A and B are shown apart, each in its own frame.
Chain A
Amino acid sequence: MSLSKILKNAFLVIIFGLIITACATKKSVKTTTETTTETSTTTKAADTQKADPIKKLDALMQGDVYIGSDTVGELASGVPDRVFFATNETILTTASRETLRKQAAWLRQNSDVTVVVEGHADERGTREYNLALGERRANAAKDYLMTYGVSSDRIKVLSYGKERPVDSGSNPLSWSKNRRSVTVKAN
């Protein structure tokens, strides 16, 4: 994905914020609708969360992208190790790009460090497709690190698909935490 495309998509994200229906691709429209349907009709856990102060969930998710800090570790002091994605998406949000720029800056300062970017998906997709999706997400993060000056031979990608969730819940918030790419030191 080219930088200009990333920036363009991010621009759209900023403009429309929560209104994902207006987001960049038709794909997001669809998947968001499906997740929403699930929240209202089939997921008890989500219903509970809905009944809870709506603010609480809003503070943790924007659209269906996780924006909280629970489960987030550090690549280095002050440098978050992961970024989050919308359902079926590989587009980097503003917050994700900020995190990745911090990672890139730290990696430029520590030029002997190599990393593995692990790509993950939530449990709401078929296993094989999710392996491909995880790889796509990890590469979106890798590409961004590269645009900020980290050479590609220092970054390996590894897709886990949906095999290594960080949150074992079956609700939209848990799924949002699991749709992630995590930058891990490899040496």
Chain B
Amino acid sequence: MKNKLLLIIIFCFFLKPGISYSLVEIDITRGNLDPLPISVSPFFIDDTSKEKIKKNLDIDNLGLEISKVIENNLRKTGLFDTLNKESFLQKPDIAHLKPRFEDWALIKSQVLITGKVSSKIINEKDYIRIEFKLWDILGAKMVDGFSLTTVPTNWRRVGHKISDKVYERLTGESGYFDTRIIYVAEEGPKTQRVKKLAIMDQDGFNTKYLTLGNELVLTPRFNPTNQMVTYLSYFRNMPRVYLLNIETGKQEVVGDFPGMTFAPRFSPDGKKIIMSLAKDGNSEIWVRNLETNIQEKLTDHPSIDTSPSYSPDGKYITFNSDRSGYQQIYVMRSDGSKVKRISFGKGIYGTPVWSPRGDLIAFTKLHKGKFFIGVMRTDGTGERLLTENFYQEAPSWSPNGRIIIFYRETKTDDKGQGFSAKLWSIDLTGYNERLVSTETDASDPSWSSLLGN
């Protein structure tokens, strides 16, 4: 993105949480049964900074807004019960200095987040400095915190970084808030959908459109550094896999293939793209090395072989094939050898996607006219269906492997009205299913890895 930047810096931890063992801990391997009560105090901001930031960003109280970003992130995990700010007894500045723990215990809060925002000038340019602290109310102590300085327009990302820190500290898992989703924005009637590539923050803000909608685009996927996207474009009615540099906007066709290429994904090291090539009625899986420009065919079967996805160590590929008569999920070594079918349940299976943790494969399943998103182990055992609907597909994992985002389409009525396509997310536990808000209809989501600094 153009404001790459970004967070300059000074990532100083107040406190190395070595020995201090937080009393509050959340087990996120179960469904959300008992969300943890947490208070996110509005971040304190002094009047001078307030005025300056209002001029810069047209935001009245940035301290309050940042606390809302954090609150929103945490609430949507389903793991936290974010308490109403009106019940808070302490003022933001005093709480940030040192909370009166009894006051927060009184409203049943177990965890408190406080912070402070100030404006700064470095080399005649405006910056903001944001400081945050995480408090354990029952243990009556601070358990984490940091401060960082960045350009004012990055303020939402600071909120996401704080959310990640809180999530990590309280669940023991890495976070997923400072991330983006790339997807296909859709508009218009079902028979003439206009589709554009779009990118937004994980929480639905800062949407940007990357193509104009002049040609059909499908299935965008990030590379590991989130700078490149591979996708299918019907530019000049030649459906081909493309590579797009998000920062420069430069795009190019991937490889030189004698037919339609589709279903692209990056290898975990970002150096290769695997995809399908359809030619003469047969689709095979190919890999193209972006550094050496060598392309190689991995499958050799007269059936449809598509939707390939690498394991996180790059040693295996899972893919979709109808060589048994129906769509099923297969795993092979990344050189194409040792092909093995892993899906054996009732129904047909598609869109396998390897989890970033490596232990699971997410998939779409069609059974008795219903579509399911599910997961299974990489040997095909332990199948679990997370959600069922009229139509849904295209799972993509959050970078910590705890959440799956996908898209869902509604059934139209007799007159063909009532169609919509939306993004949804669901926890690996099968709980906490949520609509992911987008400006337009949306499909084919791909979740980025955590953004860097």
A: residues with CB less than 8 A from B are: 1, 25-27, 30-31, 34-35, 37-38, 41-43, 45, 48, 88, 90, 116, 123-129, 131-133, 135-136, 138-140, 143, 158-160, 163-171, 174
Contacts and interface: CB of A to CB of B under 8 A. Distances in A.
24 contacts: A25-B325, A26-B325, A27-B325, A126-B307, A127-B393, A127-B444, A128-B263, A129-B307, A131-B278, A132-B283, A132-B304, A136-B278, A139-B281, A143-B281, A163-B193, A163-B216, A165-B190, A168-B189, A168-B419, A169-B414, A169-B415, A170-B411, A170-B412, A171-B414
Nearest to B415: A169
Contacts of B237: 116, 158
B366 A128 contact: no
B276 interface: yes
Nearest to B282: A136
Nearest to A38: B369
Given A42-B390, A136-B281, A165 B351 contact: no
Q: Top 6 nearest A-B pairs by Cβ distance?
A: A38-B369, A139-B281, A168-B416, A126-B350, A168-B190, A132-B283
Nearest to B195: A163
A142 B128 CA distance: 63
B292 interface: no
Contacts of B394: 126-127
A129 B281 contact: no
A129 B306 contact: yes
Most chain B C-beta atoms within 10 Å of own C-beta, residue among A138, A139, A164, A170: A170
Interface in B19-59: none
Contact of A132 (B306, B369, B416): B306
A166 B191 contact: yes
Interface string B438-453: 0000011000000000
A27 B219 CA distance: 27
A164 B304 contact: no
B31 to A, nearest CB: 27
A126 B411 CA distance: 15
B368 A174 contact: no
A35 to B, nearest CB: 7
A34 B415 CA distance: 23
B369 A140 contact: no
A159 B416 contact: no
A48 B414 contact: yes
B412 A168 contact: yes
Nearest to A135: B278
Contacts of B351: 126, 128
Contacts of B369: 34-35, 37-38, 41-43, 124
B411 to A, nearest CB: 4
B260 A1 contact: no
B341 to A, nearest CB: 15
Contact of A125 (B219, B366, B367, B368): B366
B221 to A, nearest CB: 12
B409 interface: yes
Contacts of A165: 190-191
A129 B350 contact: yes
